[in-house]
Structure formats: C-alpha cells, structure tokens
Structure 1
Amino acid sequence: MPLVRIDLVAGRTDDEVRALADTVQECLLDVFAAPPGDRYQVVTEHPPGRLFIEDTGLGIERSDQVVVIQITQQGRDREQKQALYAALAERLHERVGLRPEDLVVSVVRNEPEDWSFGHGRAQFLTGEL
C-alpha cells in the first residue's frame, strides 16, 4: 500500500495534474505490484518560489516545473526501486512532458504497524488486510 505525496509548482491544469497522478499510479501498479484499487495520493501545489530543490552537486539543471514524489511503502527491494525511478522518469516525460531533470523521487520504508486505514485500527495487524 504505497502512500504517495506529489509536490509541484502551481499552474498546471486539472487535466495535467490528473495525468501526472495517473501515470504515477500506473508505475506503482506495474513496477511495485501495488494492488488495483490501492490508490492513496496527495497532490500539493505550491506557489512559485516555494519549492527549493537543488542538485546535490550533480550538476542537474532544474526548471520551475520541478516535481517531488515521495512514496511511503513496505517490502520493495532495490531493483524494484531503481525500476520505478526509471519508469517514472520515462513515462512522465512521455505523457506530461516532465523533464527527467525536474523529477525528484524519494522512497520511504515503513512497517505494517505503521498504517491505520480508519476506525482507529491497524488493519494489517488485526487481520482485516
């Protein structure tokens, strides 16, 4: 059950934002084997000048269209993560015109006890999931 946070600069149309989010979900289904219907995404648009994303000394030239994707997940290995980074860069470029230089992805690991889907219960631990 990946939880995805997508941060971007405001100014894209609703259709562009939806296409971006749909492409991220498709990559999670294809590469991370997320179950169908298991979609948890939060898109946050920031005013221009509110995202400060540098290059970590890699010489990456970013534009004002930078997108940061943070994925909280459990159980994916190194190969799946690397495949996800590549799939996101390729598909987001193809479908929404996002330059690979403007994509930053962070995958955060957590455990089954770190989730509650409602009713104040940890459904992975109670056996509901």
Structure 2
Amino acid sequence: MPMTRISLQKGKPPEYLRAISDGVHRALVEAFDVPPKDRFQLIHQHEAHEMSIDPHYEAEGRSADYVFINVIAGRPRSTATKAAFYRRLVALLGEAPGLRPDDVMIVIQHSQSEDWSFSAGRQGLPGFAGSQP
C-alpha cells in the first residue's frame, strides 16, 4: 500500500499532471507489486523559488521540468524490484508527459504496518501481519 508524493514546479496543465500520476501508478502496478486499485497520490506544485535542486548532482543536467517522487511503502521490496521500478517509471514518464530521465528523482521509504491508519482510527495495513481487524 504505497502513498506517493509527487512534487514539481507550478505551471503544468492538468493533462501533464495526469500523465505523471498515471505513469507513477502504472509503474507501481507493473514493477512494484501493487494492486491496480491501490492508488494513493498527492501532487504538490511549488513556485520555482521554493525548490532548491542541484541541476548537476548525479545527472547531466536538470531542467525546470524536474519531478521528485517519494513512495512511502508499507512493506519492503527487494533491491531488484526497486531497480525495475525505477527503470519502468523513468521509461513511462519519458513516453508521457515526455520527461527527460535526468528530470526524475525517486525516493522509496518503508514503514511498519502500525504506522498506517486508513480510516476510522484502525491501525495497520490491510492484509499485513499486525493489522487490527
């Protein structure tokens, strides 16, 4: 059950934002073992002066189209699964909305089942050990 935060500079049209959202979800389903109906995302748009991103750190050069994607996952994935997810996501975002690979940064974080409550104050992730019924 990942929760994904997508951060980028303000000014993109809704279709562009939807393409990013759809690409993230598709990559999660195809390469990160996430069920198709398991979609929880927040898109944050920032003024240019609110983003301080080194344009050359581990990249040929980042542009104003830079997108930061933070996936908070409830259960750990293998290194191979994470690598496949990174590759698939960058490929999909290259197709639509046309992002350059150097403009995509991805960070995966993991949490425990007890760190989540989806509704009604019930603790835990559905289907994971330690969740309350």
- Calculate the TM-score normalised by the size of structure 1: 0.92
Distance 1:104-1:59 versus aligned 2 partners, 3 A rule = closer
Name the structure 1 match of 2:48.
Answer: 48
Distance 1:56-1:106 versus aligned 2 partners, 3 A rule = farther
Name the structure 2 match of 1:107.
Answer: 108
Unpaired runs of 5+ in structure 2?
Answer: 126-130
Cα distance, 1:75 vs. partner? 2.5
Name the structure 2 match of 1:84.
Answer: 85
Name the structure 2 match of 1:126.
Answer: 132
Cα deviation digits, residues 15-53 of structure 1 (max 9, x gap): 110111011000000011111211110000001222112
Contact 2:3 2:41 in 1 (8 A): yes
Task: Tell me the matched-pair count.
Answer: 127
Name the structure 1 match of 2:128.
Answer: none
Contact 2:72 2:111 in 1 (8 A): yes
Identity of matched residues, %? 33
Contact 2:8 2:46 in 1 (8 A): yes
Cα distance, 1:93 vs. partner? 0.7
Cα distance, 1:57 vs. partner? 4.2
Contact 2:4 2:72 in 1 (8 A): yes
3-state DSSP of counterpart to 1:42: strand
Distance 1:32-1:44 versus aligned 2 partners, 3 A rule = same
Q: Following superposition, which runs of at least 4 residues in structure 1 exceed 3 angstroms of deviation?
A: none
Cα distance, 1:123 vs. partner? 4.0
Cα distance, 1:55 vs. partner? 5.4
CA RMSD of aligned residues (A): 1.4
Contact 2:90 2:101 in 1 (8 A): yes
Code of the aligned partner of 2:50: R
